[in-house]
Amino acid sequence: MAGAKTVNMTVTAGEHSGKAAPRRGLGTIVDFAMASHARAIAVLLAVALLAFLPGFFSIPPIDQDEARFAQATKQMVESGDYVDIRFQDEVRYKKPVGIYWLQAGVVKAASALGFPHALSTIWLYRIPSLVGAIGAVLLTYWAALAFVSRRAALLAGLMMASCLLLGGERLLAKTDAMLLLTVVAAMGAMARAYLPLRDHSPGAPANWPLAAVFWTALAAGVLLKGPLILMVVGLAAVSLAIADRSAQWLLRLKPLAGTAWFAVLVVPWFAAILGRAGGEFVAGSVGQDLLGKLLGAQETHGAPPGYYLALFWLTFWPGAMLAQLSAPSVWSARAQPAIRFLLAWLIPSWLVLELVITKLPHYVLPLYPAIAILIAGAIDARTLSRTRWLIWGTVWWFVIPLIFGVAGIVTLMGVGRQLGLAAWPLIAGGAIMGLLAWRLYEIEGAEQALLRAIASAVLTSIAIFGVVIPALAYVFPSPALARILRESGCAHPVAAAVGYQEPSLVFLAGTDTRLTDSIEAAEFLREGACRFAFVESRHEKSFVQRAEAIGLRYSAVARIEAFNISHGERVAISVYRSSEGS
């Protein structure tokens, strides 16, 4: 099956995978998965859940992007307006509506089922990201089957399940994990349209389900994050057409019918928002967001070319440690159709993103499945380089979990004021598995070493995301402030925030939370009972002076010492309650 598709791909050894001798240790899991696609999917799903669930329910809203997305969705549900996108009174036209609709659907369903406080429960908003991450892992396996054996496809999926960057994105209620799913679906469909013709096998008739997957994924990607998916797919298609001097294979994707279907899915919301906001939407999405990132360092996120290459060794850990070992064999086979397709998926978009001035680590995430498939194919074909200095790169399988583990324990003790004993065996296990992966690489082979490194990544993820971060209440002041409102005894408490004005506070304290200055906060308290002011210490003097000047009756309720992670500074927030009208 997979072997028949990949006989011309030199980094694939279908003839090895079907007759491989039984493996020991973690290799037995792969052997178990090889019995059927259902078993392979079950193994990928189990590993993905182990890697992605830690911290999913227990980590509070993370500032600033996640909380902004969640609050905009919350306002959609509250207002019943599913066209416009707003954070309080501020429009949010940087991204299309796709992720907000997905999040709103989850929250509405939870509310209908009677889930308490669904509107302010952040993990409900994270469900689309979790689904996107798990779906991307499974679709990487599906896409890889067009290029490599089932065993190699499983390894590619496991690399994505343990990928450090995806492990972060699955936890954030925003677009990137779900965008990854759409890109992998589109590229997997496009690969199946390209490879049969390029491999000179008998031409198959037009595949309508394949075309439906491609164009639906393309439309979903545009509704999630605008033109990024078009860039990845378009550059790959153009590169292949230039290299082959033919684009005939694209006809298998039924471009006329597909374009019509794409328009049916995408045009209605864009027409609705243009009718509602007109030039304001174009200025925000194209002028401010797209052109702003191309021409300048937006929100101080500028970096020189080479930024993504430098970060790759961390963000694609643990799979990245085999990239340099697979590169020579991949490059030598670059003329083969399967390799050419994967390189067309990877290289053009990577170069463009390196040249764009604004850079964030997750921008290259849609390109990582191509790397995972290339590495997995080289492992399966046993064509990894044996150059000594390249092999030494595998030491990072041990170093990275060791660094993360020590940093996690030190942070727990220094910031969380606790030992966090539950994390210690997990951290130790992650470091030991990483050490074994590195030291036994040349003895037991790349597959067994990679599986140990993946186990190390999962254990480290459970320790850091499941134990360490949820214990750091000091870096999440918004839940503490919102708790004061809930426990105030007021039916509908409202607050004004001065200084500390993070989106997570608006999400947890309520859409009516007023972000203002010290003068207006004092006036706000004078308007009635059940009103609170959260005043950061640097604004406290002016607040007190104004309160005295207007004869305000108020009382101090609490004082919270915390660390604002989005600004990298310590904060002290005093909570005042109005005594007016009481």
Residue range 456-467: mean pLDDT, rounded = 97
How is residue 247 annotated by DSSP?
A: -
pLDDT for position 35: 93
pLDDT for position 256: 97
The torsion angle over the Cα atoms of residues 117, 513, 174 and 406, rounded to 10 degrees, is -90
Residue 408 confidence (pLDDT) above 70: yes
pLDDT for position 417: 85
Tens-digit pLDDT profile for residues 272-284: 988 887 767 766 6
Q: Which residue has the tokens 């939870």?
A: 110
d(CA 258, CA 216): 8
> Reduced to 3 states, what is the DSSP secondary structure of residue 316?
coil
Residue 311 confidence (pLDDT) above 60: yes
Tens-digit pLDDT profile for residues 363-373: 999 999 999 99
Q: Binning pLDDT at 50, 70 and 90, where does residue 228 land?
A: very high
Q: Binning pLDDT at 50, 70 and 90, where does residue 77 land?
A: very high
Strand (E) or helix (H) holding 32: helix 27-33
Residue 286 C-alpha from the chain's centroid: 23
Other CB atoms closer than 10 Å to residue 541's CB: what's the count? 11
d(CA 440, CA 446): 9
pLDDT for position 365: 98
Phi, psi of 516 (to 5 degrees): -150, -165
Tens-digit pLDDT profile for residues 124-151: 999 999 999 999 999 999 999 999 999 9
Residue range 232-241: mean pLDDT, rounded = 98
Residue-averaged pLDDT of the chain: 91
Residue range 155-166: mean pLDDT, rounded = 98
531-536, strands of its sheet edge to edge:
514-516, 494-498, 531-536, 569-578, 554-564
Tens-digit pLDDT profile for residues 182-220: 999 999 999 999 997 544 344 444 589 999 999 999 999
Cis peptide before 268 (omega within 30 of 0): no
pLDDT for position 284: 65
Residue 20 confidence (pLDDT) above 50: no
pLDDT for position 277: 79
Q: Binning pLDDT at 50, 70 and 90, where does residue 288 land?
A: low
pLDDT for position 3: 37
Q: Binning pLDDT at 50, 70 and 90, where does residue 579 land?
A: confident
Least-confidence region, from 31-45, 79-93, 129-143, 250-264: 79-93
Other CB atoms closer than 10 Å to residue 572's CB: what's the count? 16
Residue range 328-338: mean pLDDT, rounded = 96
d(CA 464, CA 224): 29
CB 571 within 8 A of CB 562: yes
What's the CATH architecture for 476-578? 3-Layer(aba) Sandwich (3.40)
DSSP annotation string for 119-174: GG-HHHHHHHHHHHHHHHHHHHHHHHTTTS-HHHHHHHHHHHHH-HHHHHHTTSSS
Tokens of 174: 């925003």
Helices (H), 163-305: 164-169, 176-198, 208-225, 228-244, 255-277, 279-282, 291-295
Residue 553, sorted as left (phi over 0), alpha (psi -120 to 50) or beta, turns out to be beta
How is residue 285 annotated by DSSP?
A: I
Length of the chain equals 582
pLDDT for position 276: 85
pLDDT for position 24: 65
d(CA 108, CA 65): 22
Residue 123 confidence (pLDDT) above 90: yes
Tokens of 216: 């639906």
pLDDT for position 16: 41
Q: Binning pLDDT at 50, 70 and 90, where does residue 22 land?
A: low
- Residue percentage of the chain with pLDDT more than 90: 83
Tens-digit pLDDT profile for residues 339-382: 999 999 999 999 999 999 889 999 999 999 999 999 999 999 99
Other CB atoms closer than 10 Å to residue 204's CB: what's the count? 12
Cis peptide before 64 (omega within 30 of 0): yes
Residue range 227-235: mean pLDDT, rounded = 96
Residue 15 confidence (pLDDT) above 60: no
Residue range 319-340: mean pLDDT, rounded = 97
Question: Which positions ≥6 away from 494 have C-beta within 8 Å?
Answer: 510, 512, 513, 514, 530, 531, 532
Strand (E) or helix (H) holding 514: strand 514-516
Phi, psi of 172 (to 5 degrees): -110, 130
Residue extents of the structural domains in the chain:
2-46+135-385, 391-473, 476-578
Residue range 217-245: mean pLDDT, rounded = 96
Residue 416 confidence (pLDDT) above 90: no
Other CB atoms closer than 10 Å to residue 508's CB: what's the count? 26
CB 496 within 8 A of CB 531: yes
Question: Which positions ≥6 away from 389 have C-beta within 8 Å?
Answer: none
d(CA 165, CA 392): 23
CB 148 within 8 A of CB 376: yes
Q: Binning pLDDT at 50, 70 and 90, where does residue 291 land?
A: low
> Reduced to 3 states, what is the DSSP secondary structure of residue 462?
helix
pLDDT for position 293: 57
Residue 92 confidence (pLDDT) above 90: no
75, 86, 347, 511, 513 from 79: Cα distances, Å: 6, 11, 44, 11, 16
Tokens of 371: 């790397």
Q: Which residue has the tokens 């390799």?
A: 339
